[in-house]
Chains A and B, each alone.
Chain A
Amino acid sequence: MVWEALLREGVRVIFGHPGGAILPTYDALAPYEAAGKIHHVLVRHEQCAAHMADGWARATGEVGVCIATSGPGATNLVTGLATAQMDSVPVVAITGQVPTNLLGTDAFQESDVVGVTAPVCKHNYLVTDVNELPLILKEAFYIAREGRPGVVLIDICKDVQNAEGWFRYDFEIDLPGFEPWPQVDMEAVRKAAELINKAERPLVLSGHGVQLAGVGRELLQMVEKAEIPVVTTLLGAGNIPESHPLSLGMGGMHGEAYANRAVQSCDVLIAMGMRFDDRITGRLDAFAKQAKIIHFEVDKAEVGKNVMPDVAVIGDLAETLPALLPLIEERRHQVWLQEIREWKKDTEQTDILNYEVDELIPPFVIRQLWHATHNAKNGPPIIVTDVGQHQMWECQYFTHDHPGQLITSGGLGTMGFALPAAIGAQMAHPDRLVWAVVGDGGFQMTMQELAVIKQEGDLPVKIAIINNGFLGMVRQWQQLFYEKRYVGTPVWSPDFVKLAEAYQIPALAVTKPEQVVPALEQALNTPGPFLIDFRVKEEVNVYPMVAPGAAVDQLIRRPKPAVMQGYSGVQPSW
């Protein structure tokens, strides 16, 4: 029944790890695998099954599916599920459970999976009756997909897996308590348009919701029509092309100073598909004080949770944004944009991009990665990052010109995400270029999944390890806020090149700036996977930075003196 339902939901690939309590379901997969209808990817740790399903879902917009056994299998999933749920990614997880007659007896490999996962799921089910299974499967996919996407887990008792029952799938979903697409209030749209049309210093702050609703193009139309600059959240990267003059890139904790200043001095803030996370707002009571705030959001519970908007436009952005567009007047905001350009000039003077380097520093590596890949065949490259300094540098120095091009764990900030999520994304798009950009710390959390790259027939995933010998982001905090007491942050690593060799994956180590370009070329010209160990300078910090608890325009800027030494006033070749 599980597989019949999955077929009807259009699922082609699932990620999982078998075990006793899920064995009947695995056994029933055999004919579907043999017929090439559903392919199972064996992971090396269940957390990565969830990350792969997550990567798949983010890269396709379809529901990703992962599967695990009871007890330890299911508890191993939790981190991956929480990661997907926090970032509104549609994932369905299927787990085996002990037989119904053993429920609650602390049976072998029993754990209360529904209880454990409830706080990190949109919804979850324990199935104790085979007759309910088809409807539950259909509901699960419906709930995961509709409205603000999320995670749904189905825990199936082993005797239910072995039972026989009638299968049907033509149910009408009847969930009176589930309102995925709230009715759009046109009056609110009109009010929003009125505010926007009157604004002298408008600003769009756009998030993941824009990608989930697939309205990047409409957003661009709107901001071009009324000349409104755009700041994005981490997950909103590429909502409008970052090379567009109206794009100010990412805001928040590691956003550029001019982006954060724009947020703090706009008169109308148009928040779209974002939830005012503390990493974007900084100190809440000092956030965008002078601005009227308009919040476009599909999840009612996000409205007024952190920031109380002046106008709330509740509903699907794919409905509200096209409704808003004709109401927006053509406007020019040259004074406002000129002001931002001045701030930007100030930033450029200290930007590491603007001086020549003789050491291997991460921003340089990322910039070269952009140069080497942004014109890739078969569509824009998908960059999957892990969590830490390298993640922030990727955001700052890679120019995302396409929505959905960056896949990263924003809400939960899960180290170990990059490699498995990149595998999931690559499985979804075998022809596209997929790069995992990952720290030496995070890579060691899930590097066992290199085996999956091989077992799945040399998936062409390219891996860039930004190897700085530290849990860099934490070290940075220790340096800035704990007087450089580096407790627990120096991290020893194996020789990643040899490690890759052990997995029969070609690899290179890079220690000097001039080796970067040839190494990237070699990686791109080698069919199949490739790993580059960038042994970068240690103890480099991510700037600018908003200290936790500070207002977003209270930034620690890039230190001037060191940078200015090499500043020639002209854009260097890189």
Chain B
Amino acid sequence: MKYTLIAWMRDKPGVLSRVAGMMRRRNFNIDSLQVGHSETPGISRMTFVVDGNERMVDQVIKQLRKLVDVTRVENISEQPIVAREMALIRVSTNAENRSEIVQMVNIYRGEIVDVALDSMIVQIVGSEERVASLIDLLDNFGIIEMVRTGPVAMARGQMEHKYRRSTAVWRAQANGRDATAAERFRTGGV
């Protein structure tokens, strides 16, 4: 079964490789992984889709929580969620089929974002099924190039507002500027 997990983590160098490394090392199967900014500066948000059984997902979550840079992990597989993917598809066209393609893209509420004489780029955002189904249709005309993200996801409905201190604070504190005189002294190098 597929599970959707969300993880929040301190936006520090190497954090992605830490997460990916742990997943590889523990032999967990990741279907897809998306990273981006969250509402809190300094905290990134990752959406995972993992394929496995309940026990494995339980381990994935616990092992993720063990990573020091990971601040929070949630399993939203059981909740009503909004999950969206995006794809850019360069499909080959000619004078006869161009309008037919445009029509299809419109039905799917996609967009044509670039047009050339013999091809165009279609952009589609939507559920996994919708994206997949448009791709299937366009395949009949010949797909030259394609890029498709995995899903990013959010739980529906009301949510408790959890604010986390950002690493911006962490850095300022590290800077030592707010130390009291008694504790401050200069060290020559290390």
In contact, B69 and A177 (Cβ under 8 angstroms): yes
The answer to the question of A24 belonging to the interface, with a C-beta cut-off of 8 Å to chain B, is yes
In contact, B71 and A177 (Cβ under 8 angstroms): yes
Q: Hey, which chain B residues are within 8 Å of A178, CB to CB?
A: 68
The answer to the question of B161 belonging to the interface, with a C-beta cut-off of 8 Å to chain A, is no
Given contacts A118-B18, A131-B174, A135-B173, A164 and B65 within 8 Å (CB-CB): no
Given contacts A168-B184, A170-B183, A174-B170, A300 and B189 within 8 Å (CB-CB): no
The answer to the question of A175 belonging to the interface, with a C-beta cut-off of 8 Å to chain B, is yes
In contact, B62 and A300 (Cβ under 8 angstroms): yes
CA distance A168 to B173 in the complex (A): 10
In contact, B189 and A143 (Cβ under 8 angstroms): no
Which residues between 110 and 125 of chain A lie within 8 Å of chain B, taking CB atoms?
A: 114-115, 118-119, 122-123
In contact, A164 and B55 (Cβ under 8 angstroms): no
Q: Mark A443-458, 1 if CB is under 8 A from B, else 0.
A: 0000000000000000
Interface centre among A2, A163, A177 (most CB of B within 10 A): A177
In contact, B176 and A166 (Cβ under 8 angstroms): yes
The answer to the question of B157 belonging to the interface, with a C-beta cut-off of 8 Å to chain A, is no
Which residues between 6 and 64 of chain B lie within 8 Å of chain A, taking CB atoms?
A: 9-10, 13-14, 17-18, 21-22, 25, 55, 58-59, 62-63
Q: Mark B179-190, 1 if CB is under 8 A from A, else 0.
A: 110011111111
Name the interface size band of chain A.
35 or more
Q: Hey, which chain B residues are within 8 Å of A134, CB to CB?
A: 174, 176
Q: Mark B86-129, 1 if CB is under 8 A from A, else 0.
A: 00000000000000000000000000000000000000000000
Which residues between 357 and 405 of chain A lie within 8 Å of chain B, taking CB atoms?
A: none
A461 to chain B, nearest CB (A): 32
Given contacts A166-B184, A168-B184, A301-B65, A161 and B189 within 8 Å (CB-CB): yes
Given contacts A118-B18, A126-B13, A176 and B71 within 8 Å (CB-CB): yes
Q: Mark A220-250, 1 if CB is under 8 A from B, else 0.
A: 0000000000000000000000000000000
The answer to the question of A304 belonging to the interface, with a C-beta cut-off of 8 Å to chain B, is yes
CA distance A2 to B189 in the complex (A): 10
Which residues between 161 and 194 of chain A lie within 8 Å of chain B, taking CB atoms?
A: 161-171, 174-179
Closest B residue to A176 by CB, please name it. B71
Closest B residue to A156 by CB, please name it. B190
Closest B residue to A96 by CB, please name it. B190
A124 to chain B, nearest CB (A): 9
Closest B residue to A119 by CB, please name it. B25
Q: Hey, which chain B residues are within 8 Å of A171, CB to CB?
A: 173-174
The answer to the question of B164 belonging to the interface, with a C-beta cut-off of 8 Å to chain A, is yes
In contact, B189 and A24 (Cβ under 8 angstroms): yes
CA distance A123 to B22 in the complex (A): 12
Q: Hey, which chain A residues are within 8 Å of B17, CB to CB?
A: 115, 118
The answer to the question of B131 belonging to the interface, with a C-beta cut-off of 8 Å to chain A, is no
Closest A residue to B59 by CB, please name it. A305
CA distance A303 to B55 in the complex (A): 11
A-B contact pairs, 8 of them (CB 8 A): A131-B176, A164-B188, A174-B170, A176-B71, A299-B66, A301-B59, A304-B59, A305-B59
Binding site for B on A (CB under 8 A): 1-4, 24-25, 28, 114-115, 118-119, 122-123, 126, 131-136, 143, 156, 160-171, 174-179, 299-301, 303-305, 308
Knowing that A131-B176, A171-B174 touch, tell me 14 more A-B residue pairs with CB under 8 angstroms. Answer: A28-B188, A119-B22, A126-B13, A126-B14, A131-B175, A166-B177, A166-B186, A168-B184, A169-B183, A174-B169, A176-B72, A300-B65, A300-B66, A304-B55
